[in-house]
Amino acid sequence: MEITNQIIEKHGLKIDEFENIKKLLKRKPNLLELGIFSAMWNEHCSYKSSKIHLKKLPTKGKQVIQGPGENAGVIDIGDDDAIIFKIESHNHPSYIEPYQGAATGVGGILRDVFTMGARPIALLNSIHFGSPNHSKTKSLLNGVVSGIGGYGNCIGIPTVAGETKFNETYNENILVNAMAVGHAKKDKIFYSKAEGLNKSVVYVGSKTGRDGIHGASMASAEFDENSEEKKPTVQVGDPFTEKLLMEACLELMKDKSIISIQDMGAAGLTSSSVEMASKGNLGIELELDKVPCREENMSPYEIMLSESQERMLLILEDGKEKQAKKIFEKWDLDFVVIGKTTDTNNLTLKFNDKIMGEIPIEALASKAPLYDREWIKKKPKKNKINLKDLKKIKIEEALMKILSSPNHSNKSWVTNQYDQSVMCDTVQKSGSDAAIIRIHNKEKAIAVSVDSSANYCNSHPITGGKQIVCENWRNLITVGAKPIAITNCLNFGNPENKEVMGEFAECLEGIKEACEFLNYPVVSGNVSFYNGTNKKNIYPTPVIGGVGLIKKLFKPIGHGFKKEKNNLILIGKTFGHLGQSCFLKENYAINEGMPPDVNLLNEKNNGECLLKMIEKNLVLSAHDVSNGGLITALAEMTLPYGYGAKIQKPKKLNNSIKYFFGEDQARYIVEIDEKNLSDTEKLLKENNIYYENIGFTQKEYFEIEGELKISTKDLFKINNQWYNNY
């Protein structure tokens, strides 16, 4: 078949990239080889537009065992225990086919974790939809949530935390980011690097079908009015088969049979084989007619580019094939030796004893395009909001609008579709600042949280990048966990757009600064570009997934008030920043101004001091102050158990709106028993932490001196009314 410009374009390649392919091969590629280059050189697999910037992120730390570059990141939590975790996007597939797109996103991230020898113990997600009033939002929301719940519930892994947000910027391009966390022993971690010559390359798991072909390439292009036609590129998941695959892999990992193992995710057999060979500086030869197929007459092109789910590629030690085969047959899974490692440094593809393709591994990996794309700095939105110019609103009315808005309303209608307690180690589930999962049969636990802030990042990317790392860090602190490391999913528009590339570069600069200062390294992640439709890009939306350690778990710290007549302390200074605030968004439909400043020194000092307070058992409940400001955080603390609060206004208060709704950073609200007040204040003073005594907990009512008084039952009703009516 003649390779035309149209065929090249259909494969997502530029003409100059095709010319480079010819130089690397010293000839024209055939269609199979072109498809393989398309799969490996697309944005999703090669990171060709982001790699230069990603290298700037801090990736090392005392507790980091494995940083970026493997299937998932690995951290040391002591006692020979390791936590393995990663977050990835499945945005495009979920928009095209919401149920299967979301489900296979969960399946894919789980494979990344158990491929490395970990038993998954928790799932999280960050899902973003367009306006609730948009014609597609309700069906997309229902499909995605059902897909996440359906896959996680069936495979038996708890979905313990996440976020569900709405914004017009996602009307034609939703975001579905899935995170998985697993537990392993430090001496039982498996990697993807191929080693040794003439070693058996083994295909295990489900059979290969025609679903998902060009899935990775589809994820590396913008949508247009024809996006519905891309449904065949969406994979189809089977959680029951994945459960069998997981158990079979973990059983095989108990002995010394596996040299390397790789999930067949994006780009399927192509990426898994190339990545293994590339890391080991080896060649690999595959006999494609031996690949188990569920459809008749599949071509080498289809076999190599299929993204059928629930499949793995293994390289085994000599003589271990028979034993390994028994394990996989016991679990009713395919086990076929389809090739071997070689010293050619080529990817050699055979079909019925004929060589169908031969490509240097380095041409697909190390010599893939690497772009330092031109970018421009985003002009900050320095609009100053003058409250005097706005229609006057009472504090109570403003709070009610925030609590009843789609983004702040109770999301139990989402989380109730997820099994959060299966495996019996979930100590604190969704609804808190962070979820807590006990390490099985041990006193210690981990805390996990995912966070994003698109409005802040859109207004000022550097500040927004810093802020979202800090918010994630605070969320772990409030439950008594020491933050260890993060994974990130970087969702942006078209990188060929200078402004979008500028948003990316600046957001990463902010993430870098915050991670370095807080000693909070990035150990894994994913970049998702081309999130846009018809040249309209989404807001920059980096999502941060954090993991922290609780060395000795006693009674978990949640954000709900525990009892009446306890002291309430606000840690951190309040300046009354309203730019990009929920107050303006929900009450006036205004998205103006700069986001609040991020003082990293205050973030570090305030957070570490709070952690000391929790470790000394001085704190009954804690909640960070973020979107919606102080008043919203206080109202949220009344909801879990129905205890209210009586809040005193500062004696010198110039503006109540700014004080109660300002979104200044590095702040926490803590509930302190009277008997612990003196020790608490002493510790705060010793650490030079600014704090205010703002009031007391009480029964039944949430009250602010001279401003509002409302029953906690009414607050609960208001917080639940949006989803009841949607």
Question: Of 210, 393, 399, 396, which Cα lies nearest the Cα of 291?
Answer: 210
Under DSSP, the state recorded for 705 is T
Question: Of 630, 632, 634, 629, which Cα lies nearest the Cα of 645?
Answer: 634
| Strand pairing report for 532-533 and 522-528 | unpaired
CA distance 315 to 258: 6
Token couple for 528? 């998702």
| DSSP-assigned states of every residue in 328-384 | HHHTT-EEEEEEEEESS-EEEEEETTEEEEEEEHHHHTTTS--------PPPP--PP
Q: Which residues contact 133 (CB under 8 A, 6 or more apart)?
A: none
| DSSP-assigned states of every residue in 21-41 | HHHHHTS---HHHHHHHHHHH
Which residue type, as a one-letter code, is found at position 641? Answer: Y
CA distance 361 to 344: 9
> Which strands, in side-by-side order, build the sheet including 691-699?
621-624, 668-672, 567-571, 691-699, 643-647, 701-704, 708-711
3-state class of 392 per DSSP? coil
44 carries an active-site annotation: yes
Place of tokens 């009250």: 703
- Residue burial 226-242, b: 16+ Cβ < 10 Å; e: rest: ebeebeebbbbbbbebb
Beta bridge partners of 549: 446, 482
Write the Ramachandran bin of 480: left for phi over 0, alpha for psi from -120 to 50, otherwise beta: left
CA distance 23 to 147: 44
Angstrom distances, CA of residue 598 to CA of 466, 491, 579, 581: 7, 22, 13, 15
Angstrom distances, CA of residue 514 to CA of 283, 509, 595, 643: 41, 9, 16, 35
CA distance 683 to 631: 25
Place of tokens 């929790």: 614
Question: Of 204, 205, 199, 232, which Cα lies nearest the Cα of 218?
Answer: 232
Place of tokens 């206004």: 649
Q: Which residues contact 181 (CB under 8 A, 6 or more apart)?
A: 83, 84, 85, 113, 120, 121, 122, 123, 124, 437, 446, 448, 547
Place of tokens 């494979």: 111
Q: Catalytic residue among 11, 53, 90, 559, which?
A: 90
Distance of CA 267 to the CA centre of its chain: 20
- Residue burial 177-215, b: 16+ Cβ < 10 Å; e: rest: bbbbbbbbeeeebbbbbbbbeebbbbbbbbbbbbbbbbb
Quickly count: other Cβ atoms within 10 Å of residue 382's Cβ: 11
Q: Catalytic residue among 44, 92, 214, 408, which?
A: 44
Question: Of 195, 193, 188, which Cα lies nearest the Cα of 254?
Answer: 188
Token couple for 19? 């010319």
Helix orientation angle between 629-638 and 395-403, rounded to the nearest 10 degrees: 60
623 carries an active-site annotation: no
CA distance 188 to 632: 45
| DSSP-assigned states of every residue in 182-199 | EEEEGGG-------SSSP
| Strand pairing report for 119-129 and 175-185 | antiparallel
| Active site residue ranges | 44, 90
